[in-house]
Structure 1
Amino acid sequence: MTILTIILSLLVALEFFYIMYLETFATSSKTTSRVFNMGKEELERSSVQTLFKNQGIYNGLIGLGLIYAIFFSSAQLEIVRLLLIYIILVALYGSLTSNKKIILTQGGLAILALISSFF
Structure 2
Amino acid sequence: MVVEVLAVVVVALVALLHLYILVLEMFLWRTPRARAAFGTTPEFAEATATLAANQGLYNGFLAAGLIWSLIAGGDLGHAVALFFMACVLVAGVYGGLTASRRILFVQAAPAAVGIVLLLLA
* Normalised TM-score (structure 2): 0.90
Q: CA RMSD in A?
A: 1.4
Residue 67 in 1 paired to residue 67 in 2? yes
1:11 is the counterpart of 2:8:
no
Extract structure 1 runs of 4+ deviating beyond 2 A: none
- Preserved CA contact (<8 Å) 2:89 2:111: yes
Unaligned runs of 5+ in 2: none
Q: Which residue of 2 aligns with 1:106?
A: 107
Is the aligned partner of 1:80 residue 2:77?
A: no
Percent of residue pairs identical: 26
Instruction: Tell me, in whole angstroms, the C-alpha distance in 1 between the residues paired with 2:31 and 2:100.
Output: 21
* Distance in 2 between residues matched to 1:42 and 1:89, nearest whole Å: 26
Q: Does residue 89 in structure 1 map to residue 93 in structure 2?
A: no
Could you tell me which amino acid in structure 1 is paired with residue 71 of structure 2?
Answer: F
* Larger mean Cα displacement after TM superposition, 10-19 or 31-40: 31-40
Higher helix share: 2
Q: Distance in 2 between matches of 1:58 and 1:96?
A: 19
Q: CA deviation at 1:58?
A: 0.9
| Aligned pairs, number | 117
Q: Which residue identity is paired with 1:96?
A: L
Ranges in structure 1 where 5+ consecutive residues have no aligned partner: none
